[in-house]
A and B are shown apart, each in its own frame.
Chain A
Amino acid sequence: MEKLKYVGQSSVRIDGKEKVSGAALFTDDLEFGPDLLYAEIVEGPHAHAMINSIDTSEAENIPEVLCVVTGKDFPYNFGLYMKDRFIFAQDRVRFFGEQIAAVVARTPEAAKKAAKLVRVNYSPLPKVLSPVDAVKKDADLIHPDLKHYEHVPWFFPKPDSNIAHHRKIRKGDVEKGFAEADYVLDDTYEVPRYAHCAIEYHAAVAKYDHSGRLTVWASSQSPHTQRNLFASALAPMGITHNDVRVIAPHVGGGFGSKAGVTMEIIAAAIATKVKGHPVKVLWNREREFYNTYQRLGVTANLKVGVKKDGRITALHHELYWDAGAYVEYGANVVNAVGLSAIGPYRVDNASIDSYCVYTNLPPGGPYRGFGYSEFLFGLESHMERIARHLGIDPVEIRRRNAIKAGDLTAYGARMNPNGLQQAIDAVEKEIRWEKKLVSKDPDIAIGKGFSLFWKAPAMPPNTSSSCFLKFNEDASVNLLVSGMDIGQGFLTVMAQIAAEVLSVPVFKIRTENPDTDRNPYEWQTVASHVTWGCGNAVKLAAVDARNQILALVSRTHYFPVETLFLEDEQVKCMTRPDFSLPLKDFVIAGIQMEDGTFKGGPIIGRGVFMPEYASTKANPETSQGGHPNVHYTVGAAAAIIEIDRRTGKVKVKKIVEAVDCGKAINPDLVKGQITGGILQGISTVLYEEMKFDHRAKMLNPNFTDYKIPTSLDLPDEVVPIIIEVPEPDGPYGARGMGEHTMIPVAPMIANAIEDALGIRIRSMPITSEKICLAILDRQKND
């Protein structure tokens, strides 16, 4: 194995100093001068209604208002995977709070005042709030034009219905599998919607200058995708990709909410109406909840058949996703789960029906875990229940069924090398699974729960990453990439990869969040794929630069190139131990020859990575035949909890989580993802709960009543375990793990609750109230 100096080290973050000193600037921290304009959004107060008329005249008369724009100004569709969205509502609103219009003014006060004076006349329509209702035959249609929407070729909308996509898996013989089963468990699980709750709001500032240049500064996970969607949505106005520039400052948390395009397009569009001025659109906490993406809700019917020894003979998973009013991104969550809802198990006979269903609730979209937390809540609850029924140890049943490298996935491709068995063993040992714990306090019940997890990056097969790498005079390096550091430590990890190849210390490598004019293409920072995808591009760029360096020195010093190597910022030669040439002597200036001429010139590397084996071409009736997922990252986790039997309050005592990240480029950052992801997972299962009133208006769009954990709500102990079974095409064997860390938490806690109380709760969240009322209910029935 090659000896690594920078990769595998827990380097401190290269953005650490900026962030603890207050130097880090986020979008709303940027200054745009006295010509800055402010936009305020007008929202619809109906979950579903036709818009009869919009009267902006009163608003336009408010002093300092420049203009009021509505859907009429921008009759364009847009969307990432399916063009079903509009910049402003056109003839109807489809969720409570949808944007109808925007007022642009010199001051935020004037904009706000005028926005209240935009008069809209509506005719309310019946609203559809659950996916189960929405698929009924007589359900009202939310998108009558569904059949006309453009979409990616791997989506299968059902015209004249509320089903925007149906991902179907048919593998083996499911009927036969169930017939062979000794035990079949069939049940339904409910997972509601959740909010990302990044602490920074969405923010975008756009300027369309008099030369026709559109620049957008945005808090973004996806600068290039935003550029692409802005350019294609605004193409009818004559705007091209070349005209659009997206600049992404620091991002105060994403978790999926700042992927794709949501409110940013409002800024981009408005700017075209106030040429020459920068215009700011700043979301607020309420809108963060109801008008960005929400995590999709799901009702999952799950049927699993097993032999007496616990081996799975068949699985049928039917998922009805509450995808909300627009599914341009959320439909791909549905698709991803459709491909993977067998979980990390070997299942020879499987059928999956994953339905993307329109509802009159806020648009569902990407959220850390991309649907896997949701379906694994049911599946991992199910596995525990089956084990208990059969009298098999819940860890053992997982070990027996765990997928191995080379096994066939649900869509018939081969599973990648992975450390799932090692993860199970490591977690079982660390949590002391066999040891039953009993509290001395009769009010306290103790339980243990286990869960496996897996997740693949969900992305188009031609997703790509690229990198430019340039040396400076002192042999420091600028790494230009377009992945976003949204907190996960992406930039640090990229610097470590380049450092390794070039023998340049991490602190001498500067890499910052991108500007699409300067930095090369990256699809998006989502799907936990950038360490792998962009990491490959960075490594290739660094190798390219290294090859140039070695070729140059070979040419000037007449050493065979294969004898040259880099060490400690110098070129060295295997056959000439006395030779060394510092990089700083020539990476810009070149190398001077005896005749006084110079050879070489600035060293600039380039790297491009695309997984050329991926394909979504498959039989739509079975999903067999393609290779839609590049690889899965797997792992295992377990928890010990205490429950107050009187109040239902859960205290998490210990969580152990093992994740196979292939290679931990920076172990400390991997552990940081585990610690943070686990708490986010705990929060979704125990605390967070979105509430809507009869109008489908969200009742708790604030941190007062949508509770995310504080420092007083931590588990007593978290033990992160890193497993490293290398990914064959990952940089140094690495694969992504950022989202995965929260995925096992909900079922694991539900399992621990059952272990403690003997009560199985099949719907999230599992709040103190829900547990307590279940205990009381049982007492009543006893």
Chain B
Amino acid sequence: MKKISFSLNGEQRFVYITPNEILLDVLRYKMGTKSPKCGCDTGDCGACTILLNGKAVRSCLIFAVEVESQDIVTLEGISRDGLTPLQKALIEHNAFQCGYCAPGMILSATELINSNPHPGEEEIKEAISGNLCRCTGYQPVIDAIKHATKKH
């Protein structure tokens, strides 16, 4: 067992792991951070997306041991200080149905908005193109992101 420490949603946390443990599982089953979901375990679906040093990445394709001293944000961290304009827009647009893909989708969109505050529709589609959703047909999600990022 190896002790690793990293910033999780703004808090310095540590955990004991072995090198063969996957970050997604460690976040969910050892640290109680349940918003990253498993939907394929092969990097195809995006449900496990987290922000690692600000970048949206697949936590199912990262070994926990790799995140020593890194900065991780999950949806719990995004919601900590109240809902963001993006989250509010998603509610207003009834953007999600079952909601299982929502955490990953929101983090992918968050990375986009952080680097590009007023993205065009094609940029939005590209940014969430790795987050599979079987319910919504995506359009309500795209509309909500557009609404949250339009110039006033």
Contacts and interface: CB of A to CB of B under 8 A. Distances in A.
* Contact flag (A, B; Cβ within 8 A): yes
Interface of A: 10, 12-13, 15-26, 28-29, 31, 196-201, 250-255, 284-285, 486-489, 668-669, 672, 675-680, 702-704, 708-712, 714, 718
A53 to B, nearest CB: 33
A261 B126 CA distance: 38
B98 A703 contact: no
B137 A12 contact: no
Contacts of B41: 284-285
Contact of A710 (B47, B87, B132): B132
Cβ-closest 10 pairs across A and B: A252-B100, A487-B97, A19-B99, A487-B98, A22-B35, A22-B75, A703-B44, A679-B137, A675-B137, A16-B91
Contacts, number: 158
A251 B139 contact: no
B42 A702 contact: yes
A703 B42 CA distance: 8
B87 A253 contact: no
A15 B135 CA distance: 15
Nearest to A18: B99
B9 to A, nearest CB: 10
A22 B139 contact: no
B94 A22 contact: no
Contacts of A29: 28, 34
B23 interface: no
B34 to A, nearest CB: 4
B11 interface: no
A501 to B, nearest CB: 23
A25 B134 contact: no
Given A21-B83, A199-B132, A711-B125, A285 B138 contact: no
B64 to A, nearest CB: 15
B37 interface: yes
Contact of A711 (B47, B75, B142): B142
Contacts of A197: 134
Contacts of A25: 34
B72 interface: no
9 contacts: A20-B99, A22-B35, A22-B74, A22-B76, A22-B79, A23-B79, A198-B98, A199-B98, A704-B44
Give the dominant DSSP class at A's interface: loop
A20 B139 contact: no
A20 B140 CA distance: 14
Interface of B: 28, 32, 34-35, 37-42, 44-45, 47, 74-76, 78-79, 83, 87, 90-92, 94-103, 106, 124-126, 128-142
B76 A253 contact: no
Given A21-B87, A200-B37, A714 B44 contact: no
B145 to A, nearest CB: 10
Contacts of B135: 253, 487, 676
Given A22-B79, A285-B40, A710-B130, A672 B98 contact: no
B137 A714 contact: yes
Contacts of A284: 41
A712 B129 contact: yes
Contacts of A487: 96-99, 135
A718 B137 contact: yes
B134 A199 contact: yes
B94 A668 contact: yes
A693 to B, nearest CB: 20
A200 B48 CA distance: 11
Contact of A675 (B78, B131, B139): B139
A199 B91 contact: no
A487 B97 CA distance: 4
A391 to B, nearest CB: 36
Give the dominant DSSP class at B's interface: loop
Contact of B102 (A19, A28, A676, A680): A19
Contacts of B136: 672, 675-676
Nearest to A200: B100
A691 B134 CA distance: 21
Nearest to A36: B29
B134 A255 contact: yes
A703 B141 CA distance: 21
Contacts of B125: 711-712, 714
A20 B106 contact: yes
Contacts of B97: 253, 487-489, 672, 676
A701 to B, nearest CB: 10
B51 to A, nearest CB: 13
Contacts of B96: 13, 16, 19-20, 487
A12 B132 contact: no
B99 A250 contact: yes
Nearest to A284: B41
Most buried by B among A12, A21, A669: A21
Given A17-B83, A285-B42, A703-B44, A24 B137 contact: no
A680 B132 CA distance: 12
Contact of B138 (A15, A24, A711): A711
A419 B19 CA distance: 62
A459 B94 CA distance: 29
Nearest to A285: B40
Given A253-B135, A704-B42, A710-B138, 15 more contacts: A17-B91, A28-B28, A199-B39, A199-B132, A200-B98, A252-B37, A488-B97, A668-B94, A676-B136, A676-B137, A679-B137, A680-B134, A710-B132, A711-B125, A711-B138
A19 B78 CA distance: 13
Contacts of B103: 22
A253 B134 contact: yes
A711 B79 CA distance: 24
Nearest to B122: A712
A22 B41 CA distance: 20
Contacts of A489: 94, 97
Given A703-B45, A712-B126, A714-B137, A251 B94 contact: no
Contacts of A18: 99
A766 B69 CA distance: 50
Contacts of B99: 15, 18-20, 24, 250, 252, 487
Given A20-B91, A21-B79, A25-B34, A708 B134 contact: yes
Contacts of A669: 94
A714 B91 contact: no
A708 B132 contact: yes
Most buried by B among A250, A254, A679: A679
B102 to A, nearest CB: 5
Contacts of A710: 129-130, 132, 138
A200 B75 contact: no
Given A284-B41, A486-B98, A487-B98, A198 B134 contact: yes
A118 B113 CA distance: 51
